[in-house]
Each structure stands twice: as structure tokens, then as C-alpha cells.
């Protein structure tokens, strides 16, 4: 199975609970079709780089998972059908990106505090 990342931008008109329900819906599609979710990261409400549908903010959510290739098309069809999704992007991770994400999750890139630097 290949490793993927999908970033979803949801409309800012949703409540936090509704946004979580939408993300749960897409996570369920993944797990029901044999994907293994590695990490989910909710970035919350953020300003967009440019207006989308006359909106300047959106709820961002990142999901990293392992899945068979044919599942990606099914997921993206569901993302396109949902009116609450403004944009999405799915990328296939190569071995270097996978290694980087593993290091990031393990805390290898944590900033040192000034007391740790002095010691």
C-alpha cells in the first residue's frame, strides 16, 4: 500500500462540531475501504492565501494514511460531491517524505528552549 496525505479545506460557515463530523465522514470512508490512518492533524480556522467562493478563511485538516491506489479516486469523488469542502489536495508520499513525517512525529524537529541551548 502506498502512503498519502490529503489536506481538506472546509467552509468557515460550519460550526466546530460540524467540521469534525465532516472530517469523521471522510476518515470513515478511508477506514471502511481498507486504509490505515497514520496521523490526523486539525489545523483549525486559518486565513486563505486567496479568496475561495468569496470566503477568506477555512477549516484546514490534514490526514496521513496508507491506502490502495484505487481508493484515492473514490475518496476524491466524495470530496467533490460534498458542498462543505471548498478545496482538497491529495499527494502520494515518496520514501523521503515518509521518513521526514516519521521524524516530525517523533519530535526530532522540536525547538530547543534557551535553557537547553545553554546547557
Look at residue 118 in the predicted model and tell me its pLDDT: 58
Residue with cell 472546509: 10
Going by pLDDT thresholds of 50, 70 and 90, the confidence category of residue 79 is very high
Residue with cell 468569496: 54
Residue 39 predicted with pLDDT over 70: yes
How does pLDDT run across 50-70, given as a tens digit for each residue?
999 999 999 999 999 999 989
For residues 33-46, average pLDDT: 93
Per DSSP, helices labelled H in 61-109 are 69-81, 95-106
Complete domains list, the chain, with CATH: 2-95 (3.30.70.60)
Pick 56 or 113 by higher pLDDT: 56
**Length, in residues, of the chain:** 119
Per residue in 3-14, is it b (16+ CB within 10 Å) or e — as a string? Answer: bbbbebbbbbeb
pTM metric for this prediction: 0.84
**Adjacency order of strands within the sheet including 36-52:** 36-52, 55-67, 2-10, 85-92
Look at residue 24 in the predicted model and tell me its pLDDT: 95
Amino acid at each position: 500500500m502506498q502512503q498519502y496525505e490529503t489536506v481538506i479545506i472546509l467552509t468557515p460557515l460550519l460550526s466546530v462540531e460540524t467540521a469534525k463530523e465532516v472530517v469523521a465522514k471522510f476518515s470513515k470512508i478511508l477506514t471502511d475501504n481498507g486504509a490505515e490512518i497514520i496521523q490526523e492533524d486539525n489545523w483549525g480556522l486559518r486565513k486563505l492565501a486567496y479568496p475561495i467562493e468569496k470566503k477568506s478563511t477555512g477549516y484546514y485538516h490534514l490526514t496521513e494514511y496508507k491506502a490502495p491506489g484505487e481508493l484515492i479516486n473514490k475518496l476524491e469523488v466524495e470530496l467533490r460531491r460534498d458542498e462543505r469542502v471548498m478545496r482538497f489536495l491529495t499527494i502520494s508520499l515518496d520514501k523521503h517524505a515518509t521518513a521526514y513525517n516519521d521524524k516530525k512525529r517523533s519530535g526530532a524537529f522540536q525547538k530547543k528552549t534557551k535553557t537547553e541551548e545553554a546547557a
